[in-house]
Amino acid sequence: MFKAIFTNSFGILFSRVLGFIRDLLTASALGASIYSDIFFVAFKLPNLFRRIFAEGAFTQVFIPAFARSRHKAVFSVHIFLVFLSIILLITMLVNLTPELFTQAIAVGFDAQTIEIASPFVALNFWYLPLVFAMTFLSGMLQYKHHFATTAFATALLNLSLIAALLLSKDKAPAEIVYYLSWGVVMGGILQLVVHIFAVYKMGLCSVLIGGVKYLSTKASSIKTETKKFRNNFFPAVWGNSTAQVSAFLDTFLASFLATGSISYLYYANRIFQLPLALFAIATSIALFPKVARYLKNNDEQKAKENLKKAFWFLAFVLSASTLGGIILAREITWLLFQRGAFDVIDTLNTTSVLQMYMLGLLPFGIQKLFVLWLYAKEMQKSAAKIATLSLGVYITFALAFITPFGVAGLALASTLGGLVSFIFTIKAFGVENFFDILRSKNLLYLLVGLVVLGGLLFILKDFLDGFI
């Protein structure tokens, strides 16, 4: 399990390092301006659908269903063709009416800004069908316990965007956004190509070819499986979409605030997402196929043992990351972004947003670990109810905090929504089961370690402040 976690973590770390280089170049070229807001809005819409339909709900329902299927080839090809058709239809609608979709995600934009942003929204959206096809192939690779290709593939998107920024150096802001948008599409193509190659190397092409060959003759044999998949998928869509809806609402509400607010949210969230992806998401991806197989074979004890190991690993690394992120928020933002068009005021505003996000890192990360248990047990409806409650909490606090706290209030509302999601996910998992995990000397070691780390971080902060 830990080999798979470290493979995912290293791949994600490599990608995120490139991602920060990309963000550094973006911040230097566009700063926190109307054009940076336009690109982040244009890229946010396909990312919203990607995380809902592709990486999120699809993977969490597909892997357990694929594991249980008696006709894996036909089942997988049928699911792929149905979903790809739906996604292509959505993509065509966005390209036919880009102004409508742009206005939906950034209502605070005026008519002129929407007109400028719309072509970029349409172009960026072609990333969605590409990344869905990649995610489908990724699910098959994960079932075979091959994680490296997917872990490192995201780096290709960042490399494509870095190349776009370098090629558009010294050009007008609108032209830079145009180059970035094509960089997104090219990144999606490259990600799909490497997954096709990995599927070929793993010998899975025969499964896909067989599925296509027998789809028409054996379609009736998978009716029960596809019906169950649909019944689980739509609650999973909602369960996964709430975090993305929150991000969507962040952008929507921030568009009414001062220029640059959308960018502050984006830059701070990029920092927040690093430890979340590096540890929590990497661990969940590695653990999910194994837990799904154990539960399929009615071996719940082994599934819980793996979950316990993963929990303590995350508890240590996420707690340390939270402490470091809050104490050194200003120093981290200054180091990564303050250059070129990104000035001191931008650093201070991004810092306040980052600190609010970091408060939620531990509950967000641990929740991702335990929610996979619900999905592996096909408890998608329970997960969807928890997600609905979390979203309601977020909306309530976002509306309450936006006036007194501005853009930082939106990040704090997101953190509180994540905390509620964590509490109710633990309740669904079983409070007694959770306390069985907590009854360990590891808890004492964790508390002592955090006290020592906190002292060291404050010393480091004083040292770094001399350079800022």
> Residue 338 sits in which domain range?
2-465
Residue 288 near residue 377, CB atoms below 8 Å: no
Place of tokens 């991806």: 285
Grouping H, G, I as helix, E, B as strand and the rest as coil, residue 341 is coil
Phi, psi of 69 (to 5 degrees): -65, 140
At 42 the pLDDT is 79
Per-residue pLDDT for 107 more than 70? no
Q: How many domains does the chain have?
A: 1
Residues with Cβ within 8 Å of 435's Cβ and at least 6 positions away in sequence, in order, are: none
CA distance 184 to 123: 9
At 357 the pLDDT is 94
Element (H, E) at 338: none
CA distance 222 to 72: 9
Residue 331 near residue 468, CB atoms below 8 Å: yes
CA distance 314 to 294: 21
Grouping H, G, I as helix, E, B as strand and the rest as coil, residue 296 is helix
Q: Which of 226-240, 263-277, 300-314 has the lowest mean pLDDT?
A: 226-240
At 316 the pLDDT is 92
Residue 367 near residue 422, CB atoms below 8 Å: yes
Each residue's pLDDT tens digit, 136-175: 898 888 878 777 788 788 889 889 999 998 998 878 888 8
Each residue's pLDDT tens digit, 121-130: 889 889 989 9
Q: What is the DSSP letter of 125?
A: T
- Mean pLDDT (the chain) is 83
Mean pLDDT of 347-374: 91
Q: Take residue 281 and report the two structure tokens written for it.
A: 């998401």
Per-residue pLDDT for 292 more than 70? yes
At 1 the pLDDT is 56
Q: Where are the beta strands (DSSP E) in 91-133?
A: none
Each residue's pLDDT tens digit, 30-86: 776 778 778 887 787 677 666 665 556 677 778 777 777 778 888 888 888 988 998
Mean pLDDT of 165-191: 88
Q: How far is CA 217 from CA 209, 211, 220, in A?
A: 14, 10, 8
Q: Take residue 165 and report the two structure tokens written for it.
A: 């920024």
Residue 333 near residue 395, CB atoms below 8 Å: no
Phi, psi of 355 (to 5 degrees): -65, -40
Among 379, 385, 389, 381, smallest CA distance to 429 is for 379
Q: How far apart are the first and last CA of the chain?
A: 42
Q: Of all residues in the chain, what percent carry a pLDDT higher than 70?
A: 93
- Whole-model pTM: value is 0.71
Q: Take residue 350 and report the two structure tokens written for it.
A: 């991004």
